[in-house]
Amino acid sequence: MCRFIQLHLLTSYPPSNLNRDDLGRPKTARMGGFERLRISSQSLKRAWRKSELFETALAGHIGVRTKKMGIEVFDTLQQKGIAEKNAKDWALKIVEVFNGGKKKEKEENKKEKEKKKKKEKEPEPEPTISSLETKQLVHFSPEEQAAVMQLAETIAQRNSEPTKEELQLLREKHSAADIALFGRMLAKTPIYNIEAAAQVAHAITVHEVAVEDDFFTAVDDLNSGEQNAGAAHLGETEFGAGLYYLYICIDRALLIENLQNDEVLVNKTLAALVECAAKVAPTGKQNSFASRAYTSYLLAEKGNQQPRSLSVAFLKPVKVGSKDDSMLDKAIEALETTRKNMDKVYGNCADKSIVMNANQPKGSLDRILKFIYSISDK
């Protein structure tokens, strides 16, 4: 079995602001001494994970990443008629499971001794709604979601707090395709961490860029212009356009392990990821720019060799010399030349490969999917 699947994509976005920094500007990076537009891997992964394509393909096998599961439990208990204080207390016990459990016994004993020294024991504050949020953003698998909500139903029916045994809610084994692909970290309970099977690079433009300003106005529809012909609103936004290179590496062996050797689910997960990477764009400022785009070029490789990105092909920015030159053609040429040169000095960096080029056209997404998602290499 070929362990690694590597994807190299070239996607051209028209004027857009797909992924903004804290000032609202398109994210950038300096590479090879030149400024490039950048789309963060976090932005890409969320766009894919929350897309209709991904959710349809993997229905029932997608987790929920939230801090508000305790509030969901509290609301459920309240709806079942549990008194507010009990609902808060019991929901907090469930939340603590995903916060890493209670504090260490030594720390608890130390606090108890300190309390005894006080002349008057201060009453413990009642948990608030905000305290029912987990301390970190937790990615719940479908199995964990179901266990949490089932426990809420159980304790509501019998009107008593959850037992220690019932609070064993975390799962090492699950069927969450998004957690299997992109991983999960629980700082206080590392035994339930999941190592990501897919590594996603930040997408960067293959050429130098300059972020541009768009000054715009909005006109009041009910302003006849007789007294004031000016705009009702003035604004400014920033944007950029570019041809992006994106690299993805998938450890298929780890994905199989993460998904409990479910070959059907592994195939569905791989197919969904590749199709999303080729078709789904981040949603930032889409209403303003309609900058949706499909990938124009996709090189897929598989093998057991140590993976490597081909971003070095674009350390020197791609440039067009005349109106007849194509930025895409020159980027493809640079990428394929770099790939061949690496194979010459390192030996074959992959056992098999396949290309889809929408500019010629050559190949197809369907052929790419058949190439990568099969567990068997026959």
User: Domain check: are 249 and 330 in the same one?
Assistant: yes
Backbone angles phi, psi at 310, to 5 degrees: -110, 20
What pTM, to 2 d.p., does this model score? 0.89
Q: 186 has which bridge partners?
A: none
> Total domain count for the chain?
2
183: in domain: no
Do 30 and 141 fall into the same domain? no
Q: Is 188 among the domain residues?
A: no
Q: Are residues 22 and 55 in the same domain?
A: yes
Show pLDDT as tens, one digit a residue, over the chain (378 residues).
789 999 999 999 999 999 999 988 999 999 999 999 999 999 999 999 999 999 999 999 999 999 999 999 999 999 999 999 999 999 999 999 999 865 543 444 455 556 666 555 666 666 777 889 999 999 999 999 999 999 999 999 999 999 999 999 999 999 999 999 999 999 889 999 999 999 999 999 999 999 999 888 888 888 877 777 788 888 888 999 999 999 999 999 999 999 999 999 999 999 999 999 999 999 999 999 999 999 999 999 999 999 999 999 999 999 988 888 899 999 999 999 999 999 999 999 999 999 999 999 999 999 999 998 764 444
Alpha carbon separation from 358 to 24, 170, 295, 330 (Å, rounded): 32, 45, 8, 15
- Determine the length of the chain: 378
Instruction: Give phi and psi for 331, each to the nearest 5.
Output: -70, -40
pLDDT of residue 106: 42
Q: Is residue 186 part of a domain?
A: no
Give a yes or no: residue 118 inside a domain.
no
Q: State the DSSP H helix or E strand holding residue 343, giving kind and residue range, or none if neither.
A: helix 327-346
Can you say how many angstroms the Cα of residue 43 is from the centroid of all Cα atoms in its chain? 6
Give yes or no for a contact between 10 and 247, defined as CB atoms under 8 angstroms apart. Answer: no
Amino acid, single-letter form, for residue 148: V
Considering the domain architecture, whether residues 73 and 207 belong to the same structural domain is answered as no
Residue in the structure block whose two tokens are 């690299």 = 247
Q: pLDDT at position 366, please?
A: 96
Residues 165 and 303 placed together within one structural domain of the fold:
no
Instruction: Answer whether 51's CB lies under 8 Å from 281's CB.
Output: no
Q: Do 333 and 259 lie in a common domain?
A: yes
Domain assignment of residue 120, yes or no: no
Q: Are residues 299 and 219 in the same domain?
A: yes
Residue 341 and residue 356 in one domain: yes
Residue 104 lies in a domain: yes
Is position 317 within any domain?
yes
Same-domain status, 244 and 358: yes
Strand-pair category, 28-31 with 212-218: unpaired
CA 303 to chain centre: 25
Q: Which residues lie closer than 8 Å to 167 by C-beta, 6 or more apart? A: 93, 94, 97, 151
Do 225 and 250 belong together in one domain? yes
Same domain, 312 and 243: yes
In terms of domains, do 212 and 352 share one? yes
The parent domain of residue 211 ranges over 4-62+194-373
pLDDT given at position 105:
38
Read off the tokens for 246: 């994106």
Establish if 119 belongs to a structural domain: no
